[in-house]
Structure 1
């Protein structure tokens, strides 16, 4: 998708998170120095709705504790120019809740923004975990000036 495109991406994430930092969700990536990942992350026995925003190589991490493993965790990310709205819902029947409004610089129109699913199990003491992504949907929107 071109680097200036506005869009909404949604997905349901089901996971069997077992060890610290097991995570799954969505990623938007302009390049190695400008990206966002959001989803669910398992830390010290607690499930969190999580978002990491990296701009010009500097990252910050936002988390919201969840009462249990929501299967599924629903994610909705809407990008409108440089603004990225990150929302989550703790099941198919719960409404979306705003977690973060983030800034992500626009890539050049000729450079693609990479968007899609992501998962990681960066703990050396594991062979990974099972995760299912369901109902992935990407919708392009008209932007001002398009």
Structure 2
């Protein structure tokens, strides 16, 4: 992890230290921040992120525990994988506050309640057989269970010469509510 060379975007916060990646760090999202696209004309990409630049072909896995005091419609935070090729595309997964409660599995509105009913979840993105799989990691009777929630088949379809940013994001699309503090811990990023 010491060679992660993390960078911050859309925030004045410095990237976390190696110890913070394990023990926890907070990413603050101001009101009006978002990472959302509705083609052909709407693109909002001003969410605070902390990422590592890598070649997309080298990405293997990312994992993090994310939590916050989710309270405002569309509050969100989690993992993000951005592709910098022709136009910026991204895949995000984590928690989003909708219908009065936090949900996980966000990216294309495949929503599911957080299993423990709390405000946090561990999520993982993994390259498997040419696709990107998203999992919720649950603890059951002391054992880790990887619950599949999404397969993104196009993620690595055009990976040659594509630069990627892998890391975490936070946003509060609503204009009201003050800053959202999203807490991340146990962040892991694997690449070849």
TM-score bracket for this pair, using the shorter chain length: 0.7 to 0.9
Deviation per residue, 1:26-73 (Å, 9 max, x gap): 001113453200001111212211231xxxxxxx321112252243x1
The yes-or-no answer on 1:102 pairing with 2:155 is no
Structure 1 residues 14-93: aligned runs within 5 Å: 14-31=67-84, 32-52=87-107, 60-67=108-115, 68-71=117-120, 73-80=121-128, 82-89=130-137
After superposing on structure 2, the runs of 4+ consecutive aligned residues of structure 1 that deviate more than 4 Å are 90-94
Would you tell me which structure has more helix in proportion to its own residues? 2
For this pair of structures, how many residues does the alignment match?
133
Aligned to 1:55: none
Structure 1 residues 2-17: aligned runs within 5 Å: 2-17=55-70
Contact 1:10 1:136 (8 Å CA) reproduced: yes
SS of 2:57's partner is coil
Distance 2:101 2:188 in 1: 28
SS of 1:40's partner is strand
- Segments of structure 1 that go 5 or more residues without pairing to the other structure are 53-59, 142-146
Distance 1:7 1:139 in 2: 5
How far does residue 82 in structure 1 lie from its aligned partner after superposition?
4.3
Aligned to 2:171: 120
Distance 2:75 2:190 in 1: 28
SS of 2:180's partner is coil
